Amino acid sequence: MRGGNLKVLVVYDITDDSLRLKVAEILKDLGLFRIQKSAFIGEMTSQERENMEEILRRQNLGPSDRIDVFPICDRDLKMHIQIGRGKFGRGPP
C-alpha cells in the first residue's frame, strides 16, 4: 500500500440503469477496479475517498438505492476468498 493510502471497497444497488452506469463510470474514472457487476475496489488517500463520497452523495439515488463504501486493511484483504466461476482462491482480487 502506498503511503497513507487505504484500500476501499464500493458496492451499490441502484435500480435505474442509466444512474447505475453513471456510478460505475465515476468509480472507474476515480481509479477503482470492477470486481463484480456492482462492486469496485482500489486504493485512495483519505482526501480522495472524501471527494468520491461527495460525488456519490450528489447522485440522484432513488428511495431504495444504496451505495456502501468500506475501508479495507491489507490484512483483511489477504483473507479474501473467491468462490465460483470454476475458481477458488485466497488473497486480494
Predicted confidence (pLDDT) at residue 48 exceeds the cutoff of 80? yes
Give the pLDDT score at 40.
97
Binding-site residues for Mg(2+) sit at: 13
Rounded to two decimals, the pTM is 0.84
Binding-site residues sit at: 13
Give the pLDDT score at 88.
46
Lowest mean pLDDT among 7-16, 41-50, 60-69, 80-89: 80-89
Buried b (16+ CB within 10 A) or exposed e, 60-80: ebeeebebeeeeeeeeeeeee
Lowest mean pLDDT among 15-24, 38-47, 71-80: 71-80
CATH top-level class of 6-90: alpha beta
